[in-house]
Amino acid sequence: MLTYKKALEEKRKDKLPYEHYKSIFKDFSPEKMSQNTGCFYDSEKRELKIKLMGNYYIIKYPSGEVLKDDYTDIEKYPIKTLILRYLINGGGTMPLNKDITYRDIPGGNVYYKNFYGRCIARLSKTFGNNIDVFKKAFQTLGAKEVNLGDAAYRFEFINNVFIVFILWEGDDEFPPSAQILFDANISDYFDAEDLAFVGDISIGTITKLAYGK
């Protein structure tokens, strides 16, 4: 269990990257970011609007402040940082409808152990013995079922960024297992390190849909 001091230190650590990207966000054209990501830009309000895992977020320009759709604050910094990185780095490549593994992404082999433990193993542990709940969560999200594993769904994480979650159910002989695939355009939006946060947010969202927590 985190102590208050440790939790405060971690929050400060998470805040630093967010403040960095806020400081450079103003140097990028909002019209260009909108064009490269397909996100809506309201030139009168000077804000971009993004849909991420079924939820909408507002990004104020030029401050880079990331807010919920009702303009209330977001407590967790990583999701705000990830949204700014997506807008700044978005390359405008449409989905290629070709799926690749994390290892196929530049830097994926270097960070694979971390990604496996943080995302793939977590997905397997959370849903491998309860595939019906997994299916129900993705149906609620409106994801597309695909013919892979014992259950698999392709979903849009954020504009133009598609991910596939695959599960194999455990039995008496083998433990449950999982795989995560990305559309081959992924490197035009996120790097290998970003994708650990993408996995965290995705799994967290479907866990909440499935279990209400």
Task: Write down the pLDDT at residue 4.
Answer: 43
The segment(s) of the chain belonging to CATH 3.30.310 are 99-211
Q: What is the pLDDT of residues 1-34, one digit of tens each?
A: 555 445 445 567 889 999 999 999 999 999 999 9
Instruction: Give the dihedral of Cα atoms 61, 19, 69, 152; nearest 10 deg.
Output: 120
Q: Do 41 and 33 touch, CB atoms closer than 8 A?
A: yes
pLDDT computed for residue 19 by the predictor: 96
Nearest residue to 87 via CA among 31, 151, 45: 31
Q: pLDDT exceeding 70 applies to what percent of the chain?
A: 94
Q: How far apart are CA 194 and CA 140, in angstroms?
A: 26
Residue 74 has pLDDT above 80, yes or no: yes
Amino acid sitting at position 69: D
pLDDT confidence bin for 213, thresholds 50/70/90: low
Rounded to the nearest angstrom, the gap between the alpha carbon of residue 60 and the centroid of all alpha carbons in its chain is: 20
Cβ contact 165:149 at 8 Å: no
Predicted confidence (pLDDT) per residue in 137-173, tens digit: 999 999 999 999 999 999 999 999 999 999 999 877 8
pLDDT at 151: 97
CATH code for residues 99-211: 3.30.310
pLDDT exceeds cutoff 50 at 65: yes
Model pLDDT, residue 78: 93
What is the model's pLDDT at position 13? Answer: 80
Q: How far apart are CA 150 and CA 131, in angstroms?
A: 8
Give me the pLDDT at residue 44, please: 97
**Mean pLDDT of all residues in the chain?**
93
